[in-house]
Amino acid sequence: MNEQPISSNEILNSFAAYDEKAVDLELINALKNSRHKIVVLDDDPTGVQTVHGVHVYTDWSISSIKQGFEEENSIFFILTNSRGFTEEETIRVHQEIASNIVAAAKETGRKFIVISRGDSTLRGHYPVETEVLKNKIEELTGDKIDGEVIIPFFLEGGRYTINNVHYVLENDTLVPAGKTEFAMDRTFSYSSSHLGEWVEEKSKGAYSKDSVTYISLDELRARDYEGICNKLTGVNDFNKIVVNSIDYYDVKVFVTALMKAISEGKNYIFRSAAALTKVIGGISDKPLLTREELVNTKNKNGGIIMVGSHVKKTTQQLENLKNLDGIKFIEFNQHLVLDDEAFEAEIKRVIKEAEDNISAGQTVAVYTRRERFDLNTGNKEDELRLSIKISDAVTRIISDLSVRPNFIIAKGGITSSDIGTKGLKVKRALVLGQILHGIPVWLTGEESKFPGMPYVIFPGNVGTPTSLLEAVKIMLPN
């Protein structure tokens, strides 16, 4: 298919407008009768980019999942961090999670919906994660999963699906996702931007683009609830459903039709970005968080910014951050990873320098050396293991820190997940909201290394070139 960049102004305003009040009312009515608990499996901690007032669990024990089921909220998140796993490990973990969800649901007497929250630029262990979930849930419950809904739209990150092609906004241009740097990911590469072709590519032909059900923007803008519902109820055998979206109201119309299909006895699993979770969870809009909501002014220590992601956007943001006075920048040389002794000495050097500065009231930014280090073996599993070893070292900078910083910002999905779970040892965090659009903040639990700390989770692929600078400015003293 001919997938070319297009002008965002030209296309995003070319579809019919909504009667927003009517759509909101129809969605409220559709959600209020649902008895389903929504369980979101997040393959890195950035999936809470659109929500607030919900909890994230960092383990998937039956007791934790049961606690999630018993919460008043209709939705909760389980952080799997599976984007940092090998395929073998993600299969094992998702079998275990599916089994524990079914067990917790039986104990609490609740029905459930599972969302596999993945990257809005289509990276991750797909289709293996949703296939494993589907197979295990069917095995344990006897219920058939009729279809899989694919909806990678994410407004805050500039990710749009139009005419079944998924785009990434770069300046004023919508670039087909398959032509971006994200499609060249060393572990999760792909070539197709048309989502039907992407499904065919990733499933190695098990599901063809012609077998996919497509929900068009024209159907959504016409508020054709009955027609969309009929399409959904016609899906069987775990065939795929691609949802076009350029606005939250597209998702709202879709979810309204979806809930009708579910009420008629249909079952689906979801592979989505962060927009769907906000809509299906019935979560309201909330203003961006302020410094007063985020910083403990009694703590006179400096904060710490950890930069691990190596996408181009992160490197641009780091370079702009270096223009800000009052921050001590510390480069961590991960290229030493193959020399155990030198690598250990480097980790200890960075920790000592960070501690000394934080204790003196100085905020520090620790960043991995920007030149990527690849084994060049051609083995993706070897490359992933190398990444994990480096990520574990970055995590140690936080876990071995002997002084409490005033705040922590982590840049990069795997980086922020490992720091949250291994470095801070968070088991259950409250999502406070967002510091900037698409950039969530956890409040760490009492069990963590630094209880009650604002922890800013900054995705590698989100924001403008100055967004990291803007976020740090909010956290620094005036």
Residue 161 CA to residue 170 CA, distance in Å, equals: 14
Distance CA 328, CA 354 (A): 9
Tokens describing residue 465: 């070139």
CA dist., res. 238 & res. 207, Å (int): 9
Read off the pLDDT of residues 443-460 as tens digits, 9 standing for 90 and up. Answer: 999 999 999 999 999 988
Q: Is 249 left (phi over 0), alpha (psi -120 to 50) or beta?
A: alpha
Q: Which fold, 6-280?
A: Rossmann fold (3.40.50)
Beta-strand runs (E) in 4-128: 6-7, 36-42, 55-57, 75-79, 111-117
Per this entry, what is the length of the chain? 478
Annotate 9-48 with DSSP letters as a single string.
Answer: HHHHTSSPPP-HHHHHHHHHHHHHT--EEEEEEESSGGGG
Please, which contacts does 230-234 make with residues 24 or more away whose CB atoms are closer than 8 Å? Answer: 232/147, 232/257, 232/258, 232/261, 232/266, 232/268, 233/261, 233/264, 233/266
- What are the backbone angles phi and psi of residue 7, rounded to the nearest 5°? -70, 130
How far is it, in rounded angstroms, from Cα 295 to Cα 241? 43
Phi, psi of 169 (to 5 degrees): -75, 125
The alpha helices in 142-202, defined as continuous H runs, are 195-202
Which residue has tokens 């930069």?
307
Contact at 8 Å (CB) between 387 and 380?
Answer: no
Q: What is the C-alpha separation between 26 and 44, in angstroms, rounded?
A: 32
In sequence order, which residues have a C-beta less than 8 Å from that of residue 356 and are 6 or more positions away? Answer: none
H-helix segments, 33-113? 62-70, 87-108
In the prediction, which pLDDT does 378 show?
A: 67
φ, ψ at 388 (rounded to 5°): -65, -40
Q: For tokens 């979801």, name the residue.
A: 270
Structure tokens at 289: 């968080």
CATH of domain 292-425+440-475: 3.40.980.20
Please give the order of strands across the beta sheet that includes 165-170.
6-7, 173-176, 165-170, 159-162
Cα 14 from Cα 30, distance rounded (Å): 28
Ranges of each domain in the chain: 6-280, 292-425+440-475
Q: Is the dihedral of CA 164, 170, 173, 178 positive or negative?
A: negative
The string of pLDDT tens digits covering residues 22-38 is 999 999 999 998 989 99
Specify the pLDDT at position 1.
56
As a whole number of angstroms, the distance between CA 332 and CA 369 comes to 6
Q: Are 411 and 309 in contact (CB under 8 A)?
A: yes
C-alpha–C-alpha distance, residues 65 and 186, integer Å? 33
> Of 64, 73, 243, which Cα lies nearest the Cα of 163?
243
Task: Give the residues across from 116 on adjacent strands.
Answer: 41, 271
> Which segments in the chain show pLDDT lower than 70?
1-2, 374-378
Is 152 in contact with 272 (CB distance < 8 Å)? yes
At residue 141, the 3 state secondary structure works out as helix
Strands 439-443 and 6-7: unpaired
pLDDT of residue 270: 98
User: For residue 338, what pLDDT is reported?
Assistant: 84
Q: Is-contact 117 82, C-beta < 8 A? A: no
Rounded Cα distance, 2 and 301, in Å: 54
**Rounded-to-integer distance, Cα 249 and Cα 25, Å:** 12
Model pLDDT, residue 370: 86
